[in-house]
Structure 1
């Protein structure tokens, strides 16, 4: 028969529940107590962390902020255009052979500084010397024939005056002289051509510069097609840098160039930290690159110490103009709230918020409008400052590890 669901559980003689049920209840109670202890501990930890900043914030808000200050000054500041550029030689040439023959001598050393006219390479000239000698012989023969024809012409003229010969004979001799003169000119051209070919066997530096690595050795045979480069010469002094200027800034540069102004250009290394050389703007290109919206500019540098190397990547700064007698302020003193800029002006040890309009900046200095020269401006502890709040001006450098406070 099925068991009656209303029956009471079986108990022992002492009317107590069995031991397993009692142990299960005790375990549940222990876990509940442990969880409550952990919850209370976590709550107190959070509470302590929350109270500590509030107390610190109340202490920071109630004190007087100590700041460092700077004074707005009147002075000059340059208007610069920054760009990246490439060092480009004024002249660079890859020398090739214009005659065919074997190389008999290489006169330059790798990396040597050569001057215009210095010998570089000699090609075997014997074939061209023989050709020139042959052309000179033909020229001398025809020159002798021309001299003989002219003497005969003089005799015929005398004879014609005495009516000893006919007019036709005299005319024929005159034409023969003209014909021989043409032959002599042709011979002279052949001699000049062969002399030029012979000159090509002795290759010299076309300008002063530095020669590159050796590309050929004595014994190599070169062709007159120019397919083999014999040497590369690059001019280093002076040297130029090509960089780009946005088309929106052309209206600042072009009027200065039309006034024949010498616009300074400074060149920095790849990191834009170390100054390499100083020069001046030479010219602008004659058209704008439509793909980039920029125009190329070329600046020239003396490069006396060879600090600029061809194809070197550099950063350039073009000084377009100089603003005179403007108000200058350290850039670090200017604060920003979105698009608006402001400063804390200190008057009678009280900070006053004032809106300013920043202009041209040059590294650590900015030209501003809205301040007068001589006004004192806060330059540190901005997180502690409020409008119309008293401050203490410290003459020691500001602490870079200032963590600030919760003061509004």
Structure 2
């Protein structure tokens, strides 16, 4: 009984005690960055793929067994260097046969000419009929035609014999051989043996929209001679590095593809160290205008919701200010801000997802970049 009364007194005392108000939340730790103000070139960018400025497929043009390969795969070769040898025995036999047929045709032509020379005086003396002379003349013309045909067969066989030794048509970097010695090549089709490429300069092909093409027309001279000397393009490789030399347009397709609404362009870049190889992907970019006194902020500072962009600005009172902004072009990992920010302001780059307009913030140092 005594314990029940004591317990009731304790419960009553606790219930009558006034509730303590919850302590106000502390400032949210954030990382901020200064707004960048500078004259900023605005670039046009497109993804492209590299190819040799001249890519030549080396193919077998005669049927035969591949006897030998005379180059080291992946090496530079000079123009005229011997690349492959195909067994010439079949072609040599056919050439001998063609030469024999030519000798027969020449002999028949010589006999036909002698017959005409012998019969012509006899016809003039009415010793033979006109029919006999006409037959001799027809035989001569037929024999002359046979000689031309036989000589053409010999020339063709000589050309095919030359195809049994395959030489480099240009100087460049040669790829791997697609066929090893001992294999039959050239039967029914021109077998691909390897590919030879000129890598200096290296070419990059990419497609641009009609609108982008019209924009580039304002910065690239329309005159073709001036266009060839307007080296304004930069090639950014997969690792973020850029070729040291600028590139220039060497090809613009004649029309816009109606299926995609794009136009094909090719830009050539000096590649003296052969750093870039065919088949690589890279970003091609060219400056189209310069914004004087542009305001830039890190891309991660900008939040996007339903097509609108905003940032949190560090206020003078230590609170976050929600600020709508109009975003312009992207430059690397920065956004150009066309309106909504001013020089000298700071924007939150980390911790913004925890903020609301007016939230107290505590600035923290940025974490060191990982190596």
**What TM-score do the two structures reach when normalised by structure 1?**
0.64
Aligned counterparts, 1:43-192, within 5 A? 43=21, 46-47=22-23, 49=24, 78-192=41-155
Q: Which residue is 1:198 aligned to?
A: 161
CA 1:140–1:204 in 2, change beyond 3 Å: closer, same or farther? same
CA 1:166–1:227 in 2, change beyond 3 Å: closer, same or farther? closer
1:309 to 244, 259, 277: 277
Q: Give CA-to-partner distance per residue, 1:272-329, whole Å, 9 cap, x none.
A: x32125211223334434565432221122322212221111111034x456xx7434
User: 1:88 Cα shift?
Assistant: 2.4
Matched length: 319
1:268 to 236, 246, 249: 236
Aligned counterparts, 1:6-405, within 5 A? 21-30=1-10, 40=20, 43=21, 46-47=22-23, 49=24, 78-226=41-189, 229-254=192-217, 256=220, 258-260=222-224, 261=227, 262=230, 264-270=232-238, 273-276=240-243, 278-289=246-257, 292-319=260-287, 321-322=288-289, 327-329=292-294, 331=296, 378-381=343-346, 401=364
The 8 Å contact of residues 98 and 225 in structure 1, kept in 2 or not, is answered as: no
User: 1:245 Cα shift?
Assistant: 1.4
Q: Give CA-to-partner distance per residue, 1:40-99, whole Å, 9 cap, x none.
A: 4xx3xx44x46x87xxxxxxxxxxxxxx999887xxx65531111111234434444333
The 8 Å contact of residues 36 and 296 in structure 2, kept in 1 or not, is answered as: no
CA distance in 2, matches of 1:223, 1:69: 67
CA 1:23–1:293 in 2, change beyond 3 Å: closer, same or farther? farther
CA 1:124–1:208 in 2, change beyond 3 Å: closer, same or farther? same
CA distance in 2, matches of 1:231, 1:70: 52
User: 1:224 Cα shift?
Assistant: 1.4
Higher-helix-fraction structure: 1
Q: Give CA-to-partner distance per residue, 1:135-187, whole Å, 9 cap, x none.
A: 11221222132223223323333444455544333322222211100110111
CA distance in 1, matches of 2:94, 2:248: 52
SS of the residue corresponding to residue 304 of structure 1 reads: coil
CA distance in 2, matches of 1:317, 1:225: 45
Q: Give CA-to-partner distance per residue, 1:9-54, whole Å, 9 cap, x none.
A: xxxxxxxxxxxx32133235446667888954xx3xx44x46x87x
CA 1:146–1:310 in 2, change beyond 3 Å: closer, same or farther? same
The 8 Å contact of residues 82 and 168 in structure 2, kept in 1 or not, is answered as: yes
> What is the alpha-carbon root mean square deviation over aligned residues?
4.2
CA 1:226–1:30 in 2, change beyond 3 Å: closer, same or farther? farther
CA distance in 2, matches of 1:197, 1:360: 60
Q: Give CA-to-partner distance per residue, 1:194-232, whole Å, 9 cap, x none.
A: 223222222222333322223333222335123854323
CA distance in 1, matches of 2:232, 2:167: 36
Q: Which residue is 2:352 aligned to?
A: none
In structure 2, runs of 5+ residues without a counterpart are 28-33, 312-324, 349-362, 367-371
The 8 Å contact of residues 327 and 368 in structure 1, kept in 2 or not, is answered as: no
In structure 1, runs of 5+ residues without a counterpart are 1-20, 54-67, 342-355, 370-376, 384-399, 404-408
CA distance in 1, matches of 2:38, 2:194: 59
**What TM-score do the two structures reach when normalised by structure 2?**
0.69
The 8 Å contact of residues 288 and 295 in structure 1, kept in 2 or not, is answered as: yes
SS of the residue corresponding to residue 51 of structure 2 reads: strand
CA distance in 1, matches of 2:17, 2:149: 120
